[in-house]
């Protein structure tokens, strides 16, 4: 205690704790709102932000509304987001109930398969769907050859929405799984005692009781849908279908002459407002979640519902879903990376080749993108974990009078779509004096990714912090320690498992991120996602598959390491 007391006395001399409180609050506010501010300014300027002759105007919004086809763009975005949400909710919730509360055969390994898509980017998943179910995809050709035709078309808004919904179903599954495993089994037993069959009990009792998880994931999936880039870009681009995100991408990056900064800024502001409203709506709808609590002070035994004769039909349904939407997607990527071309008409082992990997590993640009991705994820996750830890400690474990405001600011990036974050940082580095020094470097990528994923890391640390009794703080403070000494010597060591989980989650998100980087990278700072975007646009499917395979292998190796060595808790 003597050592802690001495450190505390030294700290009080300069009021170190207050300096940390205000420093963290100021830095968080600047980093969170810094990228948003130039976007808002740009939306109300008649010329590019950096043009000294630019004057205020609302004409950008008028031009945006009058832009040919813009009404269709917004309709496509809303329809795509709604369909993504509906498909994801239906399949994700059903899978969570069957895996989490029934005696479904193989439910343990099926549950592991369901979370695979959460470890990789939507770009990898989208390319997997293209490889298997695109016009010349493996499954499409097989259906045309043996069934006389393929009943799907991914190059429509409906097709895109179904693909996105099936891709997002694992997120709904994960959120509903936690709720469904905690539902009181006595309620299902009561339904069965009145003559209800197993499925009637599930759909009449269990699913209504997990309504908060369904609502939360529904709004989240709608947000993911309207801010998604990969699937609309890959499937909508060739058929001339645009959403707001592809409009921003094309107008901001791929403009023929120069980017339409004013219109891009106006569209970005509208998208930001919509997403912020949806995030607020999510919180508002969750206020009544207490009505659905079934696990209280009394003991309740965990149980599984016996499906009886329906066990194997249910297994076939769940396995078919996993095979057609997950296993085949990853399998298609792996197979395409190892063959010269992929077709069901020729056995794949007859066209096997290492040319795709030789092409990728023989290119300095492609190798650099892999190395940069690893560096951004490794270094960025470490910096992000430390920064988020300090935010959480100040917001949840200090007497800082603005701690609640700090937490709200830290969680605001939940409403910041990746493409807006990237666009905002792009504007910021060309607008703010001195910021140009990090332009086109991996430093700006790390900074942008870190701000975007503060809520993810906060969600890993805050619950663990809440479980640490405050009497530990009080004991140290009574002995003379200041706040910083208390949290670093007593609280932080207890949080090590949560910190490992935070680091692992940030590593995975940083490693798979690509949308935020689309506006920020330059030659020399490429990452795997941005390189894949370029290759997809060029139609180089072999190298794309090889890069995607490398990304999946590195991610899988890290997940295994994080779980078994670090003991990190990743996605439940």
Task: Let me know whether 327 and 468 are in one domain.
Answer: no
pLDDT in tens, 171-212: 999 888 877 776 556 555 565 566 566 666 666 666 666 777
Position 341 in a domain: yes
Q: Is residue 119 in a domain?
A: yes
Residue 14's pLDDT is: 54
Nearest-angstrom CA–CA distance, 554 and 450: 20
319 and 375, same domain (yes or no): no
- Distance CA(506)–CA(500), nearest Å, equals 10
CA distances from 421 to 331, 391, 453 (A): 32, 20, 11
Q: What angle do the packed helices 442-452 and 454-466 form, to 10 degrees?
A: 50
- What is the structure's pLDDT at 185? 60
CA distances from 85 to 75, 221, 223, 343, 512 (A): 15, 5, 9, 32, 22
The span from the CA of 96 to the CA of 179, in Å, is 9
Length of the chain measured in residues: 572
Same domain, 36 and 161: no
CATH number of the domain bearing residue 187: 1.10.3720.10
Looking at the fold, whether 533 and 401 belong to one and the same domain comes out as yes
| Residue-averaged pLDDT of the chain | 85
Are 24 and 113 contained in the same domain? no
Q: Which two tokens stand for residue 465?
A: 């912090």
Alpha-carbon torsion angle 129, 130, 135, 139, nearest 10: -40
What residues have CB less than 8 Å from 122, skipping those under 6 apart? 164, 167, 228, 229, 230, 231
- The neighbouring-strand residues paired with 62 are none
Q: Is 52 helix (H, G, I), strand (E, B) or coil?
A: coil
**Cβ pair 373, 527 in contact under 8 A:** yes
Among 297, 326, 352, the domain-final residue is 352
Asked whether residue 43 falls in the same domain as residue 91, the answer is no
- Position with higher pLDDT, 207 vs 569: 569
| Within-domain flag for 553 | yes
Tell me, what's the pLDDT at 356? Answer: 93
Q: Is residue 396 part of a domain?
A: yes
Distances 489 to 8, 375, 485 between C-alpha atoms, Å: 11, 29, 6
Rounded to the nearest 10°, the torsion over CA 169, 173, 174, 180 is: 160
Q: Return d(Cα 348, Cα 131) in angstroms, integer.
A: 14
> Does residue 334 sit in the same domain as residue 361?
no
CA distance 443 to 373: 12
pLDDT tens sequence across 267-316: 888 988 988 888 888 777 766 544 444 444 444 445 677 788 888 999 99
Question: Other C-beta atoms within 10 Å of 153: how many?
Answer: 14
Q: In sequence order, which ranges of 51-103 are alpha helices (DSSP H)?
A: 59-66, 70-101
Q: Do 49 and 113 sit in the same domain of this protein? A: no
Report the predicted TM-score, pTM, of the whole model to 2 decimal places: 0.87
Contacts of 386 (CB under 8 A, 6+ apart): none
Q: Mark whether 318 and 367 lie in a shared domain.
A: no
What is the reported pLDDT for 182? 66
Model pLDDT, residue 175: 86
CB 236 within 8 A of CB 160: yes
Tokens coding 258: 């120069």
The per-residue pLDDT for 184 is 57
The dihedrals phi and psi of 56, each to the nearest 5 degrees, come to -65, 145
Which string of DSSP letters, residue by residue, matches 107-130? HHHHHHHHTGGGGS-HHHHHHHHH
Backbone phi, psi, residue 305, to 5°: -90, 130
**In what helix (H) or strand (E) does residue 396 lie, and over which residues does it extend?**
helix 364-396
Q: What is the extent of the structural domain holding 115?
A: 83-240+307-352
Q: Please give the Cα distance from 482 to 15 (Å, whole number).
A: 9
Q: Which of 179, 177, 203, 199 is nearest to 112 (CA)?
A: 177
pLDDT in tens, 314-352: 999 999 999 999 999 999 999 999 999 888 888 888 889
The pLDDT, as a whole number, for residue 433 is 77
Same domain, 132 and 32: no
* Lookup result for tokens 């600011």: 409
Residue 461 resides in a domain: yes
Q: Are 126 and 230 in contact (CB under 8 A)?
A: yes
At what angle are helices 70-101 and 59-66 packed, to 10 degrees? 80
Burial class (CB in 10 A: 0-12, 13-18, 19+), 30: exposed
Look at residue 281 and tell me if it is in a domain: no
505-548 per-position pLDDT tens digit: 999 999 999 999 988 888 889 999 999 998 988 888 899 999 99
Structural domain contains residue 236:
yes
Residues 184 and 228 in one domain: yes
Indicate the residue among 322, 337, 352 that finishes a domain.
352
293 occurs within a structural domain: no
Q: Tell me the C-alpha distance between 458 and 222, whole Å.
A: 22
Structural domain ending residue among the three candidates 333, 352, 371 = 352
pLDDT at 298: 46
- Contacts for 32 with CB less than 8 Å, ≥ 6 apart: 409, 410, 412, 413, 451, 454
Higher per-residue confidence, 428 vs 8: 428
Number of domains making up the chain: 2
Q: Are residues 317 and 228 in the same domain?
A: yes
């Amino acid at each position: 205690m003597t050592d802690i007391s001495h450190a505390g006395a030294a700290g009080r001399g300069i009021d170190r704790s207050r300096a940390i409180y205000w420093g963290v609050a100021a830095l968080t506010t600047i980093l969170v709102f810094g990228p948003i501010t130039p976007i808002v300014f740009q939306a109300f300027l008649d010329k590019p932000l950096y043009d000294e002759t630019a004057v205020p105007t609302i004409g950008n919004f008028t031009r945006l509304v009058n832009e040919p086809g813009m009404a269709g763009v917004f309709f496509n975005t809303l329809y795509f987001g709604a369909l993504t949400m509906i498909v994801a909710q239906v399949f994700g919730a059903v899978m969570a109930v069957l895996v989490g509360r029934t005696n479904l055969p193989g439910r343990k390994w099926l549950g592991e398969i369901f979370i695979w898509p959460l470890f990789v980017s939507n770009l990898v998943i989208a390319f997997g769907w293209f490889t298997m179910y695109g016009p010349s995809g493996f499954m499409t050709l097989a259906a045309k050859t043996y069934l006389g035709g393929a009943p799907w078309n991914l190059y429509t808004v409906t097709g895109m929405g179904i693909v996105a919904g099936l891709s997002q179903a694992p997120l709904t599954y994960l959120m509903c799984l936690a709720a469904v495993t905690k539902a009181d089994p006595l309620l299902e037993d009561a339904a069965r005692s009145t003559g209800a069959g197993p499925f009637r009990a599930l759909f009449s009792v269990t699913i209504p009781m997990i309504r908060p998880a369904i609502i939360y994931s529904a709004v989240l999936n709608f947000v993911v849908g309207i801010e998604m880039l990969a699937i609309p870009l890959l499937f909508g681009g060739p058929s001339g279908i645009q959403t707001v995100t592809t409009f921003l991408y094309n107008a901001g990056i791929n403009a023929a002459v120069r980017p339409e900064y004013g219109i891009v800024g106006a569209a970005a502001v509208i998208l930001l407002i919509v997403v912020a409203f949806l995030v607020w709506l999510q919180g508002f709808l969750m206020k009544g979640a207490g009505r659905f609590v079934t696990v209280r002070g009394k003991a309740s035994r965990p149980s599984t519902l016996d499906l009886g004769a329906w066990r194997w039909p249910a297994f076939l349904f769940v396995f078919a879903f996993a095979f057609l939407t997950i296993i085949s997607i990853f399998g298609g990527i792996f197979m395409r990376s190892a063959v010269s071309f992929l077709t069901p008409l020729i056995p794949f082992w007859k066209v096997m080749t290492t040319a795709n990997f030789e092409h990728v590993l023989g290119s300095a640009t492609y190798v650099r993108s892999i190395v940069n991705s690893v560096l951004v994820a490794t270094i960025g996750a470490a910096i992000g974990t430390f920064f988020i830890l300090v935010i959480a400690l100040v917001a949840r474990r200090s007497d800082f009078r603005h701690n609640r405001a700090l937490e709200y600011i830290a969680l605001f990036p939940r409403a910041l779509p990746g493409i807006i974050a990237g666009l905002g940082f792009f504007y910021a580095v060309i607008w703010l004096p001195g910021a140009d020094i990090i332009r086109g470097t991996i430093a700006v990528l790390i900074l942008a990714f870190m701000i975007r994923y503060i809520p993810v890391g906060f969600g890993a640390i805050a619950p663990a912090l809440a479980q640490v009794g405050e009497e530990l703080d009080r004991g140290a403070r009574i002995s003379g320690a200041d706040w910083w000494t208390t949290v670093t010597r007593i609280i932080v060591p207890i949080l090590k498992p949560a910190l490992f989980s935070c680091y692992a989650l940030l590593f995975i998100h940083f490693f798979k991120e690509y949308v935020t980087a689309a506006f920020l990278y330059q030659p020399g700072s490429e990452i795997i996602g941005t390189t894949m975007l370029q290759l997809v646009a060029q139609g180089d499917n072999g190298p794309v598959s090889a890069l995607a395979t490398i990304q999946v292998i590195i991610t899988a190796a890290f997940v295994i390491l994080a779980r078994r060595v670090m003991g990190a808790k990743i996605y439940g």
